[in-house]
Every structure is written in structure tokens, then in C-alpha cells.
Amino acid sequence: MRSMFRYYVLVILLLMQSISYAQQQDVDSAQYLFNELKAKLDRVEDYTADVRVNIDVSFMKVPPLAGKLYFKAPDKMKLERKGGISILPKKNMSLALNTVFPEGDITIIDAGNDVLDGTPVKVIKIVPHNDVAGIVLTKVWVDKERLLALRTETTTRDNGTVKMDLDFGKYANLALPDKVTVYVDVKEFKIPKGVTMDYDAGTAGKMEAPKDDGKRKKGKISINYLQYNVNAGLADSVFDENE
């Protein structure tokens, strides 16, 4: 009788261990992490942010920019500064994490584990089934503990590969970064309207046409988000180009 009791206890313990392992595997899966991160991002319907932007591109000379960045889900965006207004097209360089995730049917691929600056991350590949906004592939390095994307790498049909590193602080609960650094590496760099803005006299940005030498053009854009106003209910008219 006692041996039978021990047998049942052993079976129960093994079942509990198996269930716990399965749950851990599921929580650590690429699909689970993607779903949780996407749900976190989807809580932000719109925001206005005070930003400071530094543009460092080999064939452009642009002074630092201070202004406001407007975003409305899923892909409306505008960067505004004193003395000029600019629109950032959704099919070009993005300054918001929300817009690098392909919409529509996608396949999630587990690309293994990695470490970024001492933080364990899961690398996820997102492959769209259709040609959505020209995105061919997106890779995301997800902080598994905080459910935050610390790095993204988006390969597009027309604009090469764009990599973003993201730093989080007081808005981490909404997956909104304090700083984003965008690295571009493209053969034919298409300058977004967001950086061809009107400058005040005396501080005009100078832009040199890129030489068609067959070499890849490199650049870096750093955006510091100083203050957010989230889910205030931005109207679509805010993003009209002919304001």
C-alpha cells in the first residue's frame, strides 16, 4: 500500500514538472514574446513627443533638430520643427517602433538567444506573407524579462537595411523609448522628407548629392525623446501634408 502511495506521488510530481516545463517553454517561445510585445505596443494609439534629433549621414550636413514628433497608429507620423514642417512617409525611414512590424499575415521564426549589453534577449524573425510597406524581413531582439525590443533590423525592398537600437526609461511600461539610434546602410539612400526641411537663415542644412560609386552609403540618426503625451486622441488632420 505504501509503495503504491509513493508511486502515485512520483507520478504527480513528474506531471507537475512536465507542466511547469511546458509553460516555461511557451513563455520563452518566439511567438509568445512577439504577441506580448505587440500587445504592449498596441496600447499606444497615438502620442506627441518632444524630440531632439541628430542626423549624421556622409553626404549631408544637417544641424541638430529640436521639435515635436506626432504618431498615430498604425503608421501616421509627422516631425515638426520651428520654421518648418515635414512629413515622414510610412514607406521610408521610420522613427517609431510600431511601424517596423509588418501588418497582415506573418510568420514568426525563433532565431535563438543572444545577449545585448549584458541583457539576455530572444531574437525573433518576422516574415510578411505579402509585400507590406516594402518590408521583406524584420528581426527583433526582445528583452525577455521586460518585454521590450532593444534592437530591430528591417530589410526593405527599396531602402536596404535599417537597424535601430532602443534605450528605455520612464516610459518602458508602454514600450516607448527614451532614445532611438537609427543606422542606415543602403546603396542608394533615399532621403526622407523628414530631413529635407526648411531651416532658419544662418543654420541652413547643406545636402550633397550622393555619388553613384556603387558603394553603400552609411548614416546614423539619433532621436532623444524628452517628453511624451500619450493617447490624447490626435486627429487625422494633424498629419495633412498641406497644413
Instruction: Please write the tens of the pLDDT for every residue from 58-67.
Output: 766 777 888 8
Residue 89, domain member (yes or no) = yes
- Domain ranges, residue 136: 24-225
Please give the pLDDT value at position 24: 44
Q: What is the mean pLDDT of the chain?
A: 75
Residue 199 placed within a domain: yes
Mean pLDDT of 114-133: 87
Q: State how far the Cα of 4 lies from the Cα of 181, in Å rounded to an integer.
A: 63
* Buried/exposed 199-221: b ≥16 CB within 10 Å, e otherwise: eeeeeeeeeeebeeeeeebebeb
Give the CA radius of gyration of the chain.
Answer: 22
Cis peptide before 210 (omega within 30 of 0): no
Does residue 18 lie within any of the structural domains? no
pLDDT at site 26: 56
**pLDDT at residue number 168:** 95
Evaluate whether residue 236 is within a structural domain: no
**What digits encode the pLDDT tens for the residues 141-184?**
999 899 999 999 988 887 778 889 999 998 999 899 999 998 87
pLDDT, mean of residues 76-102: 63
Pull the grid cell for residue 46. Answer: 497615438
Residue 218 lies in a domain: yes
Highest mean pLDDT among 10-24, 98-112, 116-130, 194-208: 116-130
The single residue listed with the C-alpha cell 520563452 is: 28
Q: What is the pLDDT of residue 76?
A: 84
Label residue 115 by pLDDT band (50, 70, 90).
Answer: very high
**Side chain identity at 31, as an amino acid letter?**
Q
pLDDT digits (tens, 9 = 90+) for 41-57: 889 999 999 999 888 87
Confidence at residue 124, expressed as pLDDT on a 0 to 100 scale: 94
Domains in the chain, number: 1
Q: What predicted TM-score, i.e. pTM, was given to this entire model?
A: 0.74
Instruction: Collect contacts of 233-242 with beta carbons under 8 A, ≥24 apart.
Output: 233/45, 233/46, 234/46, 234/48, 234/70, 234/72, 236/72, 236/76, 238/70, 238/72, 238/78, 239/70, 239/72, 239/76, 239/77, 239/78, 239/87, 241/87
> Rounded to the nearest 5 degrees, what angle is found at the Cα of 153, between the Cα atoms of 229 and 218?
100
Domain holding 98: CATH number? 2.50.20
In a domain, 42, yes or no: yes
Mean pLDDT of 59-84: 79
d(CA 67, CA 50): 6
- Work out the widest C-alpha separation in the chain, in whole angstroms: 94
Q: Which residue has the higher pLDDT, 87 or 219?
A: 219
Virtual CA dihedral for 93, 97, 100, 104, nearest 10 degrees?
-140
The answer to whether residue 233 is domain-embedded is no
User: Are 118 and 145 contacting, i.e. CB atoms less than 8 angstroms apart?
Assistant: no
Mean pLDDT of 97-108: 76
pLDDT over 90 (residue 114): yes
Q: Is residue 65 part of a domain?
A: yes
pLDDT at 162: 83
* Per-residue confidence (pLDDT) for residue 123, from 0 to 100: 95
Average the pLDDT over 82-101 and give the result. 57
Q: Does residue 194 carry a pLDDT above 50?
A: no
